[in-house]
Structure 1
Amino acid sequence: MSIKENLQAVSEVAIKDRNFVNHFLTFRQQRGEKISDPDVMAVAGELLSIAWRKALKKGASLEKYTQACMDRLSSKVADDEFETLLQHMYFNDDARGLFQVSPEFMLFKAGSASSGNTRHVGSVLGNMLLSRPEVTQGKPENLNFLEAELLDELQSFVSDFAPADATEDYLPFMGDVFAEDLSLLCSYPSYMMQNLKAFVGLYNFLYSAQLAMNLRSWRTEPTSKPLYFIMDTERASSERTYVREALSSLIDYVEDLFPVLSALEYLNQPDNKESICYPLWKHYQQIEALPADESYELKSGLKRFLENYRNARGREPWSEELNTTEDIFKAITATAREIFRQARSSQLTVNRKVVASFETEVARHFIQNRKRGGRVLIMNQDYLLLLTNLAVGSREKLQYQQLIEEFKRRGVWFDQQSQQALIEFYERVGNLERMSDSGDAVYVRKTI
């Protein structure tokens, strides 16, 4: 269904007893003290399946593949102890050894998410790849005879895959760089295997942060919003306003995520399995682009939805003007925030748990408490090197200011003091190249 078709039915949509978010969000409310990391292998399986447009054939399983490999190799290696050795090297401990051979084996993990956290991360990040071109698979290096045979056997278990695209990007700019960066990792399989956890964690955080900061800007297509980090070795002195205010400002935006996205679910017809989910800003732009008579019809439907929504949630009728598309969208988003800010309400409790989940699960590797300096957003050296390699991309090196711009494209901003600290860090690592004393002639090489 198109945006117009979704909106034509919005006045009749049934308001449910509970608030829910099924799309665009990689995390939900924290339900206990235990921190639940996503299963990175399962997330990677989903991403690679979509990126490569490959999936296991119907009925294929790791157990059947294991037996096929045993049968194949037993006829080629005449050794009584071979089968036990093969099992131990590649298939014991949930085939841990197999998944270290090549990223392709993670296709066995696609669809295996055992937790909601893993499913949400895999679904949202995977959706950013659906509308983008197929990614080229890199060839694993330094495979021994057994590993080459295992990889060859895998081909008989895999077929082409055409995933359905039922959710449009909320952050097209983020989808572009995410696809670029995954494509780069696919060209370096060993590096990918070593950095999967960091890559998924980095993009889970950057996507979630940029989604929060763009949610209120529904009049225009999202762009990378300034979010300032410092290196974990830097001081967060009092004069560094951007750094000191970054986290508190971000948390303020995060408080809108669950309320506004829960309202957006109704605009996307949650009970219609054929509907496509569109971001809020696309709904707004669609109405603004229509002829006056068609726009009037959709705005009238949205007004009735607003009335139903407020009534179902025990709110008084909206008292301000609803003449323009902007008026109506302001009213819907304000209503969503109002519902989740009611004192002593279950909605307020739920939203606090959602924000806590962002801080303790999604963002915990990027938050540091500097005591007197307060809490700041940090980028540790492991994440920084990964980010640097992704930003340099397929090039051998990149001029320093261009590197800073590539960081910004991904939602990572540094103030002038941090930019100087970055240069010193790259000099220590050994991947900085000075062509002259000019700042424009400083280049950073990737470390892959």
Structure 2
Amino acid sequence: MTFQLDTQKIKDFVEKNGAYTYRRRANTYVLPLPTRKPERAKFENGYVAIVGATLRVLDGENLEYEKNDDSIDSIIDGGKFDSAETEEMFKLFIENELKDIENSTITRVEHFKNIPFIDHKDEKKGEIGFFHFFYDLYIRDNEEDFQEIFSELKSEDLLSEIIRISVEKESKSFVRKYKMLFPGLKEQFLQDVRTLASNPAFLIQHFADLALHYTFIAMAQIVIQTNKITFAQTDKLHRIVFLNMSEKGSKRRDFYNEGLRLLREEIRTFFAHEHTLNVLGNNTFIQDGNWFYKDYADFFEKQGPDAQTEFIQSIYYWINEEYVLYFPSTQRITYEGQDLQTAFRDLYDTLRKNVKEEINSRYSVAFETIATRFYRKAGGSLGNILALNLDQIIALIAVSVGPRGNQLELNKLWIELEVRGVFFDKYSKEEVVKILDNLNYLDKKSDSGDAQYVKAIL
């Protein structure tokens, strides 16, 4: 076996009408972010449309919600009414109830399935992209677990029965696109949904918020860790500092440099990583897809130094002899025994220089859209700040503490939140304590801070 980039495969991948194109999503899927503005998901109806699609697919139904008006008519025809007026009133009631559900008025778990994607052709593509990302990362490998959780929460009321009848089952399966890099996050999400299920009303209110939160944290961590190339950590989350919406900030606080400013800098030229990883995937030895830099490092650690050297040399050969044909001003880089980290960095830097700025801009704006749509706090001269509102904080604390009857030592709450991707500085922690105290969720065993416990919220 040879361990090289396949120059012909790369040529077939990048070349279009003799010109170099910065393609992606052939060998590795990284983030569900478009580079075309019309396809950007704006989440005008929140994240509930992605949750609705998830529950439909879990139940073997269509990805997209399609209301079957004939089924409502057949139910009406089979009913017994004392007058035509009563029949018409009942039909109007059902239609209005279904319309309310489609507008996100959800009172039962199965109502989620009647939430459609946005009625805009291009933006719908963006929402469907987020569905695939969320489903692949958090649901796919645990489908039976989630099916069991939600089947136990289903109702038997008439409206729910009509909803079940009014959809057409479809056994279509979706090929995996994205790979979960953080197994701890995936298992934590499953555990949190199980915890939420102990209080169905709370789950209905906060499930979409929780799904959104885990999506955003996964995206942010993928960006930060991929930027580390082979030094990426998949068993430890990078520190991303949030503020509380109720707080005032200052440049001296941790959030200023470790919050939204950090993410903006990390995403600024990240599109080049998507392309670089897909170029690397055109090699002579990969049988499956979705390899990130760390996957190559782990692979060559097992293959030995000779195989790694052969691969590294092929990277520099491709830069110096192939890529330069498309971009003659490319600086050639002599192979002088560079390690894998350096070779990947050189390849990324070389490719990054010729990515059009409008692509970088649209890509990064698509990422910032989800951050500012759901986590934005206006900070005046500080600009936009990454912050959690009260509902988000309560939901995360609720799953951190656990079901009714549980208590969590206050000092351990911060650890539980960090496991879920939320880091606070000491001032934000003090604000959270005030919130918990005001809501009577703090059990003070004594005057000692170590003896304080957070009560169960569920």
Normalising by structure 1, we get a TM-score of 0.80
Residue from 198, 211, 236 that aligns with 2:209: 198
Name the CA distance, whole Å, in 2 between partners of 1:86 and 1:175.
44
Deviations 1:276-309 (A, max 9, x none): 3233321332223213444344434434444434
Contact 1:70 1:83 (C-alpha < 8 Å) held by counterparts? no
For structure 1, which runs of at least 5 residues remain unmatched after alignment? 341-346
Residue from 255, 260, 263 that aligns with 2:268: 255
**Change over 3 Å in CA distance of 1:399–1:318 after alignment to 2:** farther
1:318 match: 332
1:36 counterpart = 2:42: yes
Deviations 1:330-379 (A, max 9, x none): 21222233334xxxxxx112212322333344334323342344543222
Residue from 71, 74, 82 that aligns with 1:71: 74
CA deviation after TM superposition for structure 1 residue 78, in Å = 3.0
Residue from 52, 60, 69 that aligns with 1:45: 52
Q: What's the Cα RMSD here?
A: 3.8
1:423 match: 433
1:170 counterpart = 2:181: yes
Contact 1:263 1:333 (C-alpha < 8 Å) held by counterparts? yes
**Change over 3 Å in CA distance of 1:357–1:167 after alignment to 2:** closer
**Change over 3 Å in CA distance of 1:76–1:269 after alignment to 2:** farther
Residue from 384, 387, 409 that aligns with 2:419: 409
CA deviation after TM superposition for structure 1 residue 401, in Å = 2.3
Amino acid at match of 1:236: G
1:353 match: 362
CA deviation after TM superposition for structure 1 residue 202, in Å = 2.7
**Change over 3 Å in CA distance of 1:142–1:42 after alignment to 2:** closer
Taking only the aligned residue pairs, the percentage that are identical comes to: 17
Name the CA distance, whole Å, in 2 between partners of 1:419 and 1:238.
17
Deviations 1:405-444 (A, max 9, x none): 1211122100112111111111112222222223232222
Contact 1:367 1:377 (C-alpha < 8 Å) held by counterparts? yes
1:344 match: none
Amino acid at match of 2:61: L
Contact 1:168 1:276 (C-alpha < 8 Å) held by counterparts? no
Name the CA distance, whole Å, in 2 between partners of 1:153 and 1:217.
50
Deviations 1:78-109 (A, max 9, x none): 34345534443344587443773543354466
2:233 match: 221
Secondary structure, aligned partner of 1:363: helix
Superposition pairs for residues 371-410 of structure 1, below 5 Å?
371-394=380-403, 396-410=406-420
1:284 match: 297
For structure 2, which runs of at least 5 residues remain unmatched after alignment? none
Secondary structure, aligned partner of 1:433: strand
Contact 1:45 1:106 (C-alpha < 8 Å) held by counterparts? yes
1:13 match: 10
Name the CA distance, whole Å, in 1 between partners of 2:402 and 2:208.
19
Contact 1:368 1:377 (C-alpha < 8 Å) held by counterparts? yes
Q: How many pairs align? A: 430
2:140 match: 130
1:337 counterpart = 2:348: no
Name the CA distance, whole Å, in 2 between partners of 1:84 and 1:442.
59
Contact 1:398 1:445 (C-alpha < 8 Å) held by counterparts? yes
Secondary structure, aligned partner of 2:453: strand
Contact 2:42 2:370 (C-alpha < 8 Å) held by counterparts? yes
Residue from 154, 158, 172 that aligns with 1:146: 158
Secondary structure, aligned partner of 1:55: coil
1:244 counterpart = 2:247: no
Contact 1:177 1:410 (C-alpha < 8 Å) held by counterparts? yes
Contact 2:441 2:455 (C-alpha < 8 Å) held by counterparts? yes
1:436 counterpart = 2:446: yes
Contact 1:236 1:370 (C-alpha < 8 Å) held by counterparts? yes
Name the CA distance, whole Å, in 2 between partners of 1:77 and 1:279.
62
Normalising by structure 2, we get a TM-score of 0.79
Secondary structure, aligned partner of 2:227: coil
**Change over 3 Å in CA distance of 1:6–1:47 after alignment to 2:** farther
Contact 1:399 1:444 (C-alpha < 8 Å) held by counterparts? yes
Name the CA distance, whole Å, in 2 between partners of 1:354 and 1:152.
39
Secondary structure, aligned partner of 1:339: coil
Amino acid at match of 1:421: E
